[in-house]
Amino acid sequence: MNSPIEMPARGQTVFRFMTALLVWGILFGLGLTGTRAAERVSIAGQWRFALDRVDDGISEEWFNKTLPDQIDLPGALQSQGFGDEISIHTPW
């Protein structure tokens, strides 16, 4: 049988643990939010690109060449006249 004195001590321990867990969670969450915001980089703008349908880009070093087409980001290929029409048969 538990004495009346033990219950408040156990309750205080649980309360302290839960409070510490809550504070840690808030601080951890704030830390992640601050880190993510600092690392965010906008890629909006005009980009040069080429569709690599046969996977030649790396072997032909496209990264060292001026690519032939331009696209605006944010945006979609199809709305700017490039790529395949999207359907259930579109290869990914």
Question: Do 49 and 67 meet the contact criterion of CB atoms below 8 Å apart?
Answer: yes
Residue 35: exposure state from Cβ atoms within 10 A (0-12, 13-18, ≥19):
exposed
Spatial contact of 49 and 69, defined as CB atoms under 8 Å apart: yes
Could you tell me the residue ranges of all domains in the chain? 1-40, 45-80
Q: Are 3 and 10 in contact (CB under 8 A)?
A: no
Q: Give the largest Cα separation in the chain, rounded.
A: 82
Is residue 45 helix, strand or coil? strand
pLDDT band at 87 (very low <50, low <70, confident <90, very high): confident
User: Can you give the pTM of this predicted structure?
Assistant: 0.51
Q: Quick one: pLDDT at residue 58?
A: 95
Q: What is the pLDDT of residues 27-60, one digit of tens each?
A: 877 776 555 556 889 999 999 999 998 999 999 9
pLDDT-above-90 percentage for the chain = 42
